[in-house]
Amino acid sequence: MVKRTSQLITLIATAAISLGLLVGGVTLGLADTSDPNWAGTDPIQISIQSPPAAKQGDLTVDGNDQVVASWIEANNEGERYLYEARSQGGLSAPQVITDVTTYSEPDVMAYGDRSFVAWVASSHALRETEIGTDQIRTVNSADDIAPSVQPALVGAADKLHLFFAAEASYNIPDIYYSSRDLTGDWAEPRQIYTHTAPLGASWPAAAIEPDGSALHLVWEENDHHTTTWIRYMRGIVGADTVTWTDPITLSTGVNPLLPDLAIASDGTLHATWGERIGTAGDDTYYVRYARKPAGEDWSAPVRIDPRTVATNQNSPTYVDPRLALHEADGETTVCVAWHGFREGDERTEETLVNCSDDGGASWESATENLSRTDLRASIHPAPAFDSTGKLHVVWQERENAEAGYKIYYAHALSQIFLPLIMRSN
């Protein structure tokens, strides 16, 4: 049950990057690839340790257009800390918030001009803090929380909501939920979905209505690694409780996995997930996308790229696409980022992105490659838009199979819609 495999995960770090960073950057110089080059700044390393042991980057943009990235990192002594850093026209040095005692994948989320990060603190507790403060809150659980599973954190209407997978028995996870007011403590988590497949329910991803009136949740359900489903349900937020609808299945195909979810200001939901084709050791992946306008049904899932990607069989062994939305002048741009290598290419993963400039109705732009110049494994991208329409991405990268991972960051050069940039290549 590891969404993003990591045997070296021993530190959480958080960094803030301003929009002024690398404005004068040049476009990426890429290795030979079947995908056209992405128009963006040269990537910079934002993880701090040497030798590198940084993985699992995440990204958000707050209401002040400050970009906040999070990742997991180990120092040379194997010590684990939660870091944060701010930017004053550039990236400042990360500062320690606290030490951490278990391996965890953080989730960073913006609420207005504030940012929050949540992570697994122990087998029975999650923790959360507002970046830039010294208060750390604990979310307890009676059941075992998988430390490598990323919690899903969302917020609106002066309230935060947190979802995670936990195991009551037999290492079979279910979906749990907790909430708190912005000034309060976390409520005791409660189970909101009980698995129906033998290997359980995991990898929740969440979205919240802009007015905080409803929650939306997707997750993966697993039947002995041979058949999986992507499920969805909606929760109506009351004063003291959330009332959940019956779950439905979004996915088609035999083996969908690792969903992500986002919501636009008009209530349209956007979902993406990977789709495994073939058998273990010889599998490839498509990326699927579906949307649900407010008051309508979910669309049939489509493959946003007609070609598959593959991944290496040591680490990672899956594809986990991530969504980003930008809205302007009544139009929504939807971007999906993922990793993998194409058939016939070197067996080194690239970081890829594809965008729809008509709200997900069509996917006509070419898939772009934003990886570095040589055969480096570039995996697990996390994208986010700022208010101007500039796309920011972090990803995890290593030079070769013996080297440790670093976290890299780049952003689009222009403030116009990214698909227009792509078509100009």
* 30 domain-assigned: yes
* 5 domain-assigned: no
d(CA 123, CA 130): 22
Host domain of residue 167 = 12-423
3-state secondary structure 106-167: CEEEEECCEEEEEEEEECCEEEEEECCCCCEEEEECCCEECCCCCCEEEEECCEEEEEEEEE
Smallest CA-to-CA distance from 265 within 200, 210, 184, 303 is with 210
Would you tell me how many other CB atoms lie within 10 Å of the CB of residue 302?
16
Contact between residue 178 and residue 189 where contact means Cβ atoms under 8 Å apart: yes
pLDDT tens string 291-308:
999 999 999 999 999 999
Instruction: Tell me which of 121-125, 300-304, 333-337, 379-383 is least confident.
Output: 121-125
**pLDDT at position 424, please?**
32
Contact between residue 201 and residue 221 where contact means Cβ atoms under 8 Å apart: yes
d(CA 273, CA 219): 10
Cis before 198? omega within 30: no
Q: Is 338 exposed, middle or buried (0-12, 13-18, 19+ CB in 10 A)?
A: buried
Smallest CA-to-CA distance from 392 within 140, 21, 136, 28 is with 21
Total residues found in the chain within this entry: 425
**pLDDT at position 116, please?**
95
**pLDDT at position 325, please?**
98
* 110 domain-assigned: yes
Contact between residue 118 and residue 126 where contact means Cβ atoms under 8 Å apart: yes
**pLDDT at position 422, please?**
39
Smallest CA-to-CA distance from 368 within 303, 302, 416, 422 is with 422
pLDDT tens string 22-76:
333 333 333 444 788 888 888 888 888 766 678 888 989 999 998 888 887 777 7
Please state the rounded mean pLDDT for residues 155-159.
97
* 215 domain-assigned: yes
What is the CATH classification number for the domain harbouring 111? 2.120.10.10
**pLDDT at position 25, please?**
32
d(CA 331, CA 333): 7
Domain count of the fold of the chain: 1
**pLDDT at position 86, please?**
56
* 4 domain-assigned: no
Contact between residue 128 and residue 160 where contact means Cβ atoms under 8 Å apart: yes
Please state the rounded mean pLDDT for residues 405-410.
87
* 3 domain-assigned: no
* 6 domain-assigned: no
Mean pLDDT of the chain: 83
* 24 domain-assigned: yes
pLDDT tens string 374-399:
668 899 999 999 999 999 998 989 88
